[in-house]
Amino acid sequence: MPNNKRKNRGNKNKEVTMTASNEKDTPIQDYEDDDIEEMQEADLKKLIRTLRSSQKQILELHKSLLDKIENLSRENEILRRNQNETKQLVQQETVIVTEVKNSIDQMKNTIESLTNRMGEAEERISDLEDREQERIQSDQRKEEEIRNLKHIVGNLQDTIKKPNIRVLGVPEGMEREKGLEGLFSEILAENFPGLEKDREILVQEAHRTPNKHDQKRSSPRHVVIKLSTVKHKEKILKCAREKRQITLRGSPIRLTADFSSETLKARREWRDIAQVLRENNCQPRILYPAKLSFVNEGEIKTFHCKQKLKEFVATRPALQKMLKVVLHTETQKHGHQYERR
């Protein structure tokens, strides 16, 4: 029996030795209490070191696992937060998209409303333009009618005034002794003795114009003499043109035909042009009622309006050079008058 026990111990010691020698490569073995008692002190120390090393490894492994679990928890929390943030972002984007869609719909409605209003405004503008064009045409027709009426009235006045002679420069009050008819007879006797004896020359009416004397006016009012015939008026005016200087009691006066205000205005418009033509020996005359006549290249030319004169002047270089300044001035004058209107 003792021998067997020794053999068993020997075997067990061999096992312990083998276990100690292989402790680096073999995992921790389970030892029974009897085995531990039979172990030597060195083997026990090795076993304790092995156990402590294993415990340390287990602790490190446990710690590593805890760290991994903690990291996984953090990552999971981060993922959860990211998911929540993503959900919030998606919700916000959904709200924004909805708001944008609503804004787009509102803009579409607004644009459609504005388009409709613009269409209505364009129609109104078109109607107003049509009305304005109609008004302009109506005004033009009225102006044309007014011009025609003025022309008709002017012609009637000129017809009525055709036998009249207008005397300029007779001092106020001189007619008190003989009257205006007596003063006219005195003018004929002083300037045209042959006509004064003509019994056919009869004065039908004589008056000053305007009827009321303006005390602030320095020049005397004109005297209008109405003769019985136009022929006698033309005869007297022809003699006045030939004599040139007409006097009354030694003071200079003027004899002219009597015209309507429209005709006088038209005749005055020829005045500057006639002056230039007179300075260049073109023998200008303003014919009845308001026509310009002058001599050009040996021929007598007559014009009733400035437009016809300009067209003729454009074909005559010498005449164009002569009247360039005065015609340009007239064009500017009419341009300013049109702008004021």
Encode pLDDT of 72-93 as tens digits. Answer: 888 888 888 888 888 888 888 8
Say what the pLDDT of residue 78 is.
Answer: 86
* pLDDT tens-place string over residues 114-147: 889 888 888 899 999 999 999 999 999 999 999 8
Say what the pLDDT of residue 7 is.
Answer: 41
Mean predicted confidence (pLDDT) in 216-220: 84
| CA–CA separation, 220 and 214 (whole Å) | 9
Say what the pLDDT of residue 2 is.
Answer: 43
* pLDDT tens-place string over residues 149-198: 888 888 888 888 889 999 999 998 898 888 999 999 999 999 988 776 77
**Per-chain mean pLDDT for the chain:** 81
In this predicted structure, which of 155-159, 183-187, 220-224, 300-304 has the lowest mean pLDDT?
155-159
Tell me which residue of 222, 291, 296, 294 sits closest to 255, measured CA to CA: 222
Going by pLDDT thresholds of 50, 70 and 90, the confidence category of residue 226 is very high
- pTM summary value: 0.51
| Cβ pair 204, 226 in contact under 8 A | yes
Sheet with 164-168, strands from edge to edge, namely 203-209, 222-227, 164-168, 251-257, 246-248
* pLDDT tens-place string over residues 93-106: 888 888 888 989 88
| CA–CA separation, 183 and 165 (whole Å) | 13
Mean predicted confidence (pLDDT) in 297-314: 90
Say what the pLDDT of residue 330 is.
Answer: 62
Going by pLDDT thresholds of 50, 70 and 90, the confidence category of residue 22 is very low
Which long-range CB contacts under 8 A does 332-337 form with residues at least 24 apart?
Answer: none
Say what the pLDDT of residue 339 is.
Answer: 47
Say what the pLDDT of residue 169 is.
Answer: 92
